[in-house]
Amino acid sequence: EVQLVESGGLVVQPGGSLRLSCAASGFTFDDYTMHWVRQAPGKGLERVSLITSDGGSTFYADSVKGRFTISRDNSRNSLYLQMNSLRTEDTALYYCAKEREQLIHFDSRGQGTLVTVSS
């Protein structure tokens, strides 16, 4: 059964850095493009970044471009999001998700990881 477990969320000051991780299991991780999607309090979903199955291509939303870096370690079935120069507007619950046939699939039991940027 597909499982995606996010971790690494913390309270951090503006300008700080954080690294999120996502541990994947239950599927062949290196076959899939992976995404980070976030949800700010009271707001809609925002797809932050994606990385293709081999890590060869990445994409970032304009809101995080130049500050966030997505990466993956297929040998560890893990996805990462390095977040630098954090802003208060980055405060959100961050989910990892896999893409299959152009569709984003979340782990139904996923809790996400909460990032709070506050002084």
Query: Least distance to another protein from the beta carbon of 44, Å?
Result: 4
Residues 6+ away with beta carbon under 8 Å from 51: 33, 34, 57, 58, 59, 70, 71, 72, 79
Q: Based on the shown chain and the rule CB under 8 A, indicate whether residue 1 belongs to the binding site for another protein.
A: no
Site for another protein in 62-91 (CB under 8 A): 62
Instruction: Please identify, among the stretches 11-19, 23-31, 78-86, 95-103, the one whose residues bind another protein according to the rule CB under 8 A.
Output: 95-103
106 binding another protein? (CB under 8 A): yes
Find where tokens 């291509």 sit.
Answer: 57
Distance CA 63, CA 60 (A): 8
Task: Name the 3-class secondary structure at 20.
Answer: strand
Q: What are phi and psi of 48, to 5 degrees?
A: -90, -45
Interface with another protein: number of residues (CB under 8 A): 23
Question: Is there binding between residue 110 and another protein (CB under 8 A)?
Answer: yes
Output 67 or 105, the one with its CB closest to another protein.
105
Our finding on whether 109 is near another protein (CB under 8 A) is yes
